[in-house]
Amino acid sequence: MTRQLHLGGFQIASHVTHSHAAWRHPASDPAFLTPEYYHRIGRILERGRFDFLFFADLLSVPTRFGNDIDESLRRGTQASATLDPSIVAASIGAVTSRLGIAITKSTTYFHPFELARIFSSLDHITRGRIAWNIVTSLSQSEALNFGHDEHLEHDLRYVRAQEFVETAVELWASWEADALVQDKESGVFADPSRIHAVDRRSEHFRTRGPLPTPRSPQGRPVLIQAGSSGRGKDFAAKWAEAIFEIDPTPEGRRAYYDDVKSRATNFGRNPEHVKIFPSFIPFVGETESIAREKQAFHNDLADPISGLITLSVHTDHDFSQYDLDKPVEDVTVTGTQGLFDVARRLSERDNLTLRDIGKLYAQGVLLPQFVGTASDIADQIEEGFTGGEADGYILSAASSPGTFNDFVDFVVPELQRRGLFRREYSGTTLREHLGLPADPFAPRETAKAS
């Protein structure tokens, strides 16, 4: 069978995603606090036969830039106003039938039992279309919201995350697939011999189990990760079934693809079961010049300070203290190290100032922008897909829902015409869409101890 491209849509339950210009764009719907806003996006992507809609999330209003919330709220930066994505996911699931829904939940401030139950419930409610984007919370402001004076240092966050995922997996496996009997005649509801206590006792977590939620359609949610540091890439290679990646350069995307696939092999996994999704923002036009005008209009709306506020959140480092018109300094960051490495690489390569990086960050958090006609954008996708950069791509919007509509109406048919992308869903679960093992507890996909 010919290798097939996978597609996801990127979203935050918010007014902006990667593009900080999006909420100011005249084509963007401002009603992000309503269910209809997300229903519309979900239906568009399902019409385009997308694999999933992916929700990122942060757990605090940005405060790192200048140690103040005023500018982030005034400028409407990323995470300044959000809804809980798990609630939004359930709402989208009710108005779609095939689209997968991936939501972010942190391993830093929650308990595995709580999250295992939430995801198992969502998987039931959506009939097997749920994914968990596993993150380690990265900022001091998030720690303060959960009653901690300091957030965990980088490597310790991954130690905790490892124990968290191991515990959640044990809880999902506590009900065997045929444990729920519901035999009305005999009066047997469930077979106790097929339901198992967990009795987990590790450094960070204790739980007795079993989960009170019977085995869900997928067994467990599809696991997504976005590791970019060395430790993060190891974690992703060990656990993730789909990986979200940000790198604006083809050479960076190829290097990441090769690196993570190799690490997955070293963990005893089939690298074909680790799908890598770089992200991009498309600008589609009837002609290239029209597309370029759309791109320029969007990019001119981007505010450098908004970008630096979000860069400060992602790195947990205050960039308000530096001269905007000098190169990016080589500083130690405690948050997302990979994104800062990309910013430094771009600054050195293109002789960019901190203001320039802030502008790029506001335009799309360093995502590449694919610009042109439907055929032009399909060319770029095909080149990356066949050239060792990606198993699929995650589409991020410059305006919502306009970007999604343009891509589904014009680019998807071109990808289908080339035989790269499905015309119809062949399965019902997200695992089936992604070509992943139906039984996630099979020995061949059990991660080896690091």
Q: Tell whether residue 320 is among the known ligand binding residues.
A: no
Domain coverage including residue 64: 6-292+366-434
- Count of domains forming the chain: 1
CB neighbour burial string for 95-116, b if at least 16 within 10 angstroms, e if fewer: ebebbbbbbbbbbbbebbbebb
| Amino acid letter for position 178 | D
Q: Tell whether residue 14 is among the known ligand binding residues.
A: no
In angstroms, the CA 225 to CA 105 distance is 11
Do the domain assignments include residue 194? yes
The CATH number covering residue 395 comes to 3.20.20.30
Residue with tokens 């519901």: 182
Per-residue pLDDT, 343: 84
Do the domain assignments include residue 354? no
Cβ atoms 7, 100 nearer than 8 A: no
For the chain, give me the number of helices (H) and strands (E)? 16, 13
Do the domain assignments include residue 427? yes
Element (H, E) at 115: helix 112-125
Q: Tell whether residue 167 is among the known ligand binding residues.
A: no
Do the domain assignments include residue 40? yes
Per-residue pLDDT, 445: 45
| Amino acid letter for position 267 | F
Q: Tell whether residue 259 is among the known ligand binding residues.
A: no
Strand 369-372 vs strand 275-284: parallel, antiparallel, or unpaired? parallel
Say whether the peptide bond before residue 327 is cis (omega within 30 degrees of 0). Answer: no
In angstroms, the CA 377 to CA 415 distance is 10
User: What tens-digit pLDDT sequence spans the chain (450 residues)?
Assistant: 589 999 999 999 999 999 999 999 999 999 999 999 999 999 999 999 999 999 999 999 999 999 999 999 999 999 999 999 999 999 999 999 999 999 999 999 999 999 999 999 999 999 999 999 999 987 888 989 999 988 888 888 899 999 999 999 999 999 999 999 999 999 999 999 999 999 999 889 999 999 999 999 999 999 999 988 888 899 999 999 999 999 999 999 999 999 999 999 999 999 999 999 999 999 999 999 999 999 999 999 999 999 999 999 988 899 999 999 998 877 877 767 777 888 888 888 889 899 999 999 999 999 999 999 999 999 999 999 999 999 999 999 999 999 999 999 999 999 999 999 999 999 999 999 999 998 776 554 444 433
Q: Tell whether residue 57 is among the known ligand binding residues.
A: yes
Cβ atoms 48, 422 nearer than 8 A: no
Per-residue pLDDT, 287: 98
Q: Tell whether residue 247 is among the known ligand binding residues.
A: no
Do the domain assignments include residue 348? no
Do the domain assignments include residue 232? yes
In angstroms, the CA 342 to CA 253 distance is 11
Strand 392-395 vs strand 275-284: parallel, antiparallel, or unpaired? parallel
Do the domain assignments include residue 331? no
**Nearest one of 429, 439, 442, 422 to 2, comparing CA atoms:** 422
Element (H, E) at 12: strand 6-12
Cβ atoms 190, 179 nearer than 8 A: yes
Do the domain assignments include residue 26? yes
Quote the tokens at residue 252: 């960076």
